[in-house]
Structures are given as C-alpha cells and as structure tokens.
Chains A and B, each alone.
Chain A
Amino acid sequence: MDWLYVTEVALAGLGAGALYALTGVAFVLIYKATRVVNLAIGEILMLGGYVFFGLVAGAGLSIWAAIPLTILAGAALGAVVERALIRPMLGESPISVFMVTIGLGSILAGVVELGWGADPLRLPEFIPNTPIFLGEAYLAPKVAYGALVAALLIAGAVIALRFSRGGVALRATARDQGAAYSMGIDVGRVFSLSWMAACATAAGAGVIVGAIGGISPTMGIFGLSVLVVVIVGGLDSVAGALVGGLLIGLVEALAGSFLGGEYKLLATFSLLILILMVRPYGIFGTHEIERL
C-alpha cells in the first residue's frame, strides 16, 4: 500500500472535515440554546456563498470587504428567521419546528435559483494557490487554508462559549431555561444571539466551501453530511461536532478514494448506524434529547 497516498487522502479528508465541523458547530449552537433541529443549515451555508458571489461579481466589492459583509448578512438572516419563523413556534412540538426549518431550506434554495439560476457558478479566486506540502504529502492549498480558517473560527466559538457572558448565558439557558430566566438572563435574547451566531458561521463556511468546490442551488446537500456529523457527535455537543466532523470527513475521503465515489454516502451512513447502535445520543450527546 502506498502510504504517501493514504496520508494525502487522509489530510484532504480532515481538511473537508474541518468545514463539516465548522458547520456542525453552527448547528449545535442553535440546538443547544433553543432545542431546534435546524435542517436549513445547508441552505443558509449556500446562501452565504451566493451573497458573497453577488457582492464580489455583482456589486464589484473587493473580496476583503465582501467576506465581513457576507457574515453580517448571515447574522441578519439568523435574526430575522428566529424572530419571524422560530419564535412564534415556541411551545409547539419539536416536529413542527423541524418542518418549518425544512420549509425554510426549500424557500432559500428556490429564491437562490430564481435570482442566480440553477447552473453551478465559480467564486472568484482569492485563496493563494501555491502548493502545500506537509512533509512529503501534498495538500490542496484551498483545502488547507479553508481548514485553517475553520479551525480558527471553531476555536473562537469555543472560547466565546466558555468565557464570554453571552456564552455562559447560552450554556445556562441550554441547561435550564427557567433557572436562567430567573437569574436575570434574557432567554429570548439568547435565542436570537444563538441564531445570529450560527447563521453568520454558516454563511462564512459557505464562502469557504464555495471557494473550494463552486456554488450551486443544490449545495445545501452539504447540510446532509453535517446532519450526519452532529448526530454522530451528539446534537448538543460542540466537541462532538468537532470530532464528528473530522471523522466523517476522513471516512468520506478514504471511502471515496479506495472504494469509489459511490461508496462515500454508503460508508458514512453505515458509520452513523453503527455509532447510533452503540451510543444512541451520539458520541458526546446529552441523554435528555427529545426523539424526533
């Protein structure tokens, strides 16, 4: 067996896994704070890619102005969605809220298709393309820089959750809403902030994913892999999203290279079933999760 090749495939897998992890963290933020399973996360990511494309190719902005604007647009979308669609569903059964997010995903995909058409588009090049070697192993520069940015963003999210007041408020709300409320924590604001942070993160991830593989209205499929990631890792665990993301990225890459592209999904979903048989709440998930 050619170990150099295996290493290269594994590295590429981990690189892709970092993006799964980043989007997984976005998913977990919402689930942790609000107990909403947000199936539209892939479409929000896609919209991020298109907003970036629109700002650069359409409005002619520079890339470094377009990135923060895309992230802000993601946050704004999160605030609107939470206020207009999710807040009114408070107290409804989890399955209803789940359906609302599926609807939201379809709407976003439809809107993008109306605006930009169904054909895949390429984002302007902005990631440096000098080849990167780790030892002897070659790593595609886009994947490497994408993973690096994702890692930095995840680290930022973890630090904010651990130490910032907003993060502490979010963790307290996740544990016990009533107690958090009577402690002076504005639970409604925590809901808003978690959606804003998550959608901003997803929009940012969309720029990276789009820069690597191009954008198309069906790019929301990425969200399906992310769903596998968070189920494997545990819906309410940031650490789970991290481990799950890298694991799924790795398995997809190895299966894709050594068994053939058609085995990618087969491999990840088999892994999903195996893990759920052993740990029904995911690797790091809390046990009180409501069944859907």
Chain B
Amino acid sequence: MSDGLTRSPRETAAPILKVDALSLSFGGLRALSGVSFEVQDGSITALIGPNGAGKTSMFNAISGFYRPSAGRILFDGEDISRERPPARAKRGLARTFQNIALFRGMTVLDNIKLGRHAHLKTNIFDALFYRGRAHREEMELRQEVEERIIDFLEIQHIRHAPVGALPYGLQKRVELARALAMRPRILMLDEPVAGMNREETEDMARFILDVKEEWGITILMVEHDMGMVMDISDHVVVLNFGQVIAQGRPSDVQSDPAVISAYLGSGDLAERIRKTEAA
C-alpha cells in the first residue's frame, strides 16, 4: 500500500506508454471512446472497471490485435498505433492472456523459450545445424531462461512437464515466465489472478511486485480482484462504458463518487475491498 503514497522519482519522467484519445469501434458498437492515460516507467498501473467496460479491448489495442479508429498509442514517445503485434513485441511489449494461451503439447521450457523468439537472430540453417551464432545464442538463452526466470518463479520442478497437464495456477505462472523471457519493458497482464485461490493470489501479487522492483519492468494489468489491485498498484485507471471515469492513486480512486456509482451494480467498491481482504 505504501507504494501508492511514496512516489518514486522516476514517475515524474516522461511516460513509457501513453494512450492518447483512443477510440475503438466494432461496426456500430463503440468499445472505447477517447480514452487517455499514461503509464509511468517502473510503475504498476491497473486498469479496472465493471465487465464490458473495455479493459480487454484496451489491452488488445495496445498489443496490436485491434486497430484503433482514432487516437494514438505512444511507446517511449514513438507512435506505435500502426505497428503489427510482432513489431510491438520486439520493442518490448509482452502480455499474458485472460484465458491462458500457452502452447499446449510443448513442455514448460519450450514455452518459455518461445518467449525469446522475437530476439533471436539466427536463420533456419544455423538453427538446424546448431553452430556458430545459433549455438552461442542457444546457450546464452538457456542460461538466462533457466537461472533467472525459472528460479524466480519457483517452477524448477516442472520445467520438463507438458504444460497441458499442469494445474491452473502453475499454468498462469508459466505464462508469466514466457512473457518475462521476452525481456519486456512493459509487461501487460490480463487478469493475472482470475480464478486463483487466496494463497495463489498472494504468490502472484508477490511475483508481480518483484518483477517491478527487481527487474525494473513496468506493469500494466487488468484485474478484478480489488484487494490485490489496491495493494500493489501505483496508479489506477477506471474504465466504464469505454471511457475513463477516474484515475489516480488507489486511495483517491476508491473514494471517487463516479467510481463508487459505477460499481454499485456489483456492490460498493469499499465494501468489495473489505470483503476480499477479510476472505
């Protein structure tokens, strides 16, 4: 909680990600209209809002799956709105998915290695014969992947297991590992603790904080677990019906009347937080 109150000096610098008056329509349906917010380098920013508010649409627009009908997305000051997802991945934008999107049928290690795909430069023939640059890169990659990410996420024991056979919480963790292997500058997490029990949620919250603090990776997440959002976020953006209705520090957002009324349908926000924290 203290993170939200003590502002780190980095946060006053230029934002690493800036969404500028972004609108997105599907036919006649307006999913997002004129959404603007900033993600500060080295922060945890949470995107919250009731179901259907446009959070996942926002995510898909940022990672490049949807093309906005108006507005811009700036990454490090550069307009990336027209770039396709692989180009954005190379810039350092990694994400996880709401419904786990691991490559089933491959092992945990294979999945994690795929995260480095965007950064590998060898061609097919080098890779086929495992020589020269391919070999060095492969070794480097293995070391980095194994030592840092696997240790960090505590998944040593399952590294050779096929991902399809793992329990849900571990699959989520492998997905996080794969995203980390991309060596991202911004990590986008789409509901990282959805469907997790209390203990798993706490583990995941700890991992997310560590990713920010030890690895210096900026985090943008969509999450419904209000207790967790308020605990670890530096900045909260609230969407409702495709518009930003409030943003600021967690404590400010919680007491915002617009936010409270947006959540009335599903219970009072403060009430929800008390409930999840008590649980």
Task: Tell me which residues from 168 to 200 in chain A have a Cβ below 8 Å from any Cβ of chain B.
Answer: 168-169, 171-172, 175-176, 178-187
Chain B residues whose CB sits within 8 angstroms of the CB of A176 once the complex forms = 101-104
Residues of B contacting A166 in the complex (Cβ-Cβ under 8 angstroms)? 124
* Whole-angstrom CA separation of A178 from B115 in the bound complex: 13
Q: A165-B124, A178-B101, A179-B97 are in contact. Are A184 and B106 (CB under 8 A)?
A: no
Instruction: Give the one of B102, B114, B115, B120 with max A CB within 10 A.
Output: B114
Give min CB distance, B109 to chain A, whole Å.
Answer: 12
Residues of A within 8 A of B103 (CB): 171-172, 175-176, 179-180
Binds B, one of A39-47, A58-66, A156-164, A206-214: A156-164
- Cβ contact within 8 Å between B182 and A184: yes
B94 CB, min distance to chain A CBs, angstroms = 7
Using A163-B128, A179-B97 as known contacts, say yes or no to A184 and B86 having CB atoms under 8 A apart: yes
Which of B114, B130, B182 is in CB contact (< 8 Å) with A168? B114
CA of A21 to CA of B110, assembled, Å: 27
Residues on the A chain within 8 Å of B90, using CB? 184
Q: Which chain B residues border A165 with CB–CB below 8 Å?
A: 117, 120, 122-124, 127
Report A-chain residues with C-beta under 8 Å of the C-beta of B119.
184
CB pair A178 B114 closer than 8 Å = no
Contact, CB under 8 Å: B65 / A183: no
Number of residues of chain B lying within 8 A (CB) of chain A: 33
Q: Out of A159, A169, A171, A178, name the residue touching B106 (CB < 8 Å).
A: A171
- Do the beta carbons of B114 and A160 come within 8 Å of each other? no
- Nearest A-chain residue to B103, judged by Cβ: A175
Q: Is B52 an interface residue (CB 8 A)?
A: no
With both chains docked as a complex, state the minimum distance between the C-beta of A183 and any C-beta of chain B, in angstroms: 6
Report B225-253 residues with CB < 8 Å from chain A CB.
none
Known: A184-B86, A184-B182. A178 touches B65 (CB 8 A): yes
Q: How far is the CB of A276 from chain B (nearest CB, A)?
A: 23
- Selected from B102, B110, B113, B128, the residue in CB contact (under 8 A) with A179 is B102
Interface centre among B86, B118, B130 (most CB of A within 10 A): B86
B178 within 8 A of A: yes
With contacts A164-B124, A164-B127, A179-B103 known, is A185 near B86, CB below 8 A?
Answer: yes
Report the Cα distance A176→B89, complex, angstroms: 16
Interface: B169 (CB within 8 A): no
In the complex, chain A residues whose CB is within 8 Å of the CB of B64: 181-182
- Residue interface bits B73-103, CB-to-A below 8 A is 1, else 0: 0000000000011100110001101000111
Query: Which A residue sits closest to B188, measured CB to CB?
Result: A182
Cβ-defined contact, A184 with B118, below 8 A: yes
B124 near A178 with CB under 8 A, answer no
Q: What's the minimum C-beta distance from A82 to chain B, rounded to whole angstroms? A: 18
Do A183 and B178 touch across chains, with their CB atoms under 8 A apart?
yes
Q: Residues 36-70 of chain B: 1 if any A CB is under 8 Å from the residue's CB, otherwise 0?
A: 00000000000000000000000000011100000
Q: A163-B128, A164-B124, A178-B101 are in contact. Are A185 and B117 (CB under 8 A)?
A: yes
Contact assessment for B104 and A175 in the assembled complex, using a CB-CB cutoff below 8 Å? yes
Q: Is the CB of B97 within 8 A of A178?
A: yes
Given A159-B128, A165-B117, A165-B124, CB of A181 within 8 Å of CB of B102:
no
From the candidates A159, A168, A183, name the one contacting B118 in the complex (CB within 8 A): A183
**Residue on B with the closest CB to A188?**
B84
> Does A184 lie within 8 Å of B117, measured CB to CB?
yes
Q: Is B105 an interface residue (CB 8 A)?
A: yes
Set A160, A180, A182: member contacting B95, Cβ < 8 A: A182
Name 25 A/B residue pairs within 8 A (Cβ), A-sorted.
A159-B128, A164-B124, A164-B127, A165-B117, A165-B122, A165-B124, A166-B124, A175-B104, A175-B106, A176-B103, A178-B97, A178-B101, A179-B97, A179-B101, A180-B103, A181-B85, A182-B64, A182-B65, A182-B85, A182-B95, A183-B114, A183-B178, A185-B114, A185-B117, A186-B86
13 additional A-B pairs beyond A163-B130, A164-B127, A184-B119, beta carbons within 8 Å, are A164-B124, A165-B124, A171-B105, A172-B117, A175-B103, A175-B106, A176-B102, A179-B97, A182-B85, A183-B182, A184-B85, A185-B117, A186-B86
Name the 10 nearest CB pairs between A and B, nearest first. A184-B118, A184-B89, A179-B101, A175-B103, A181-B85, A164-B124, A184-B86, A164-B127, A186-B86, A176-B101
Identify the A interface with B (CB < 8 A): 159-160, 163-166, 168-169, 171-172, 175-176, 178-187
